[in-house]
Amino acid sequence: MKKSFYIVDDHEMLRLGTSLWLTSNSDWKCCGSSGTHESALADFERMAGEETNETEVNEKLPSILISDLNFYGENTGFEFISKIHSLYPDVKIIVYSMFFAAGIVQSAVRSGASGYVSKNANCTELLNCMEKVLAGELFIQEELQTNLKKYNNFTDALTRREKDVMELLIRRYSNDEIANQLGIKKRAVENYISLIYEKTGVNDRNELLARYG
C-alpha cells in the first residue's frame, strides 16, 4: 500500500520539520507541502490532472493529507477539509493542530477527517495515527477521547438544528454566516443560540468557545 503524505501548515519551520522527521523515521514519503489552503488545492488539482487514468491519478495523489486548522487570514480550515474530502475521497485526512477542544475535534471528524492529533503529543503519535488511518481506522489521540465522549453525550441532548448551529459556532461563524449557511433567518439563529446557552449553562459565545471549542 502506497505510503505518501502531503502536509499543510502556515508555520514553515514546523511544516518542514514535521515532514523531515516523518521521512527520516519511517518509510513514508512526502509528495508536497504548502502554507495555504489555496496552494494546497492547486497542487492537488495539478496532481489529479497529470494523468487521465483513475488508477494513475490515485498514484499521483498522496494517501494522506496532514493539515493544521489555524491559518492566518483564513477560516479555521473545516471548509478546506470538507472540500478535499469531497473532491478526493481516497485521500485520508489527519488534523494536526494546537487546538484540541472536543467541539473542534468532533467538527473536524464531521468535516471528513479520519484522524486527529494534538501538536502537544509525542512525535511518534502522528506517525502512529498515519499508520492507523491508512489501514482504514478512525484515530483520535487517546488523551482527547475522554473529553470527546463527554461532548458527544452532551450534544445528544440538543435537537438536530441546535447541533447544526452549535457546530458552526465552534467554527467561529457569525450569526449572519450561520443564517446563510443553514438557510434560516438571523432571528431563528439567535433563538437557537439562546437555547444552546441555556442547555450548556454558559452566558455568552466566548464562554461557550472556551469550554467546547
Q: What is the pLDDT of residue 71?
A: 46
pLDDT-above-90 percentage for the chain:
62
Task: Give tens-digit pLDDT for 79-102.
Answer: 899 999 999 999 999 999 988 889
- Alpha-carbon gap, residue 43 to 48, rounded angstroms: 9
| Region 21-34 average pLDDT | 95
Helices 186-200, 175-182: inter-axial angle, 10-degree rounding:
110
Look at 187 and 152; give whichever has higher pLDDT: 187
Q: What is the pLDDT of residue 51?
A: 53
- Which residue is associated with the grid cell 470538507? 82
Structure-derived torsion over alpha carbons of residues 143, 146, 151, 157, reported in degrees to the nearest 10: 170
- Which residue is associated with the grid cell 467554527? 171
Please tell me the number of Cα atoms within 13 Å of 45 on its side-chain side.
Answer: 7
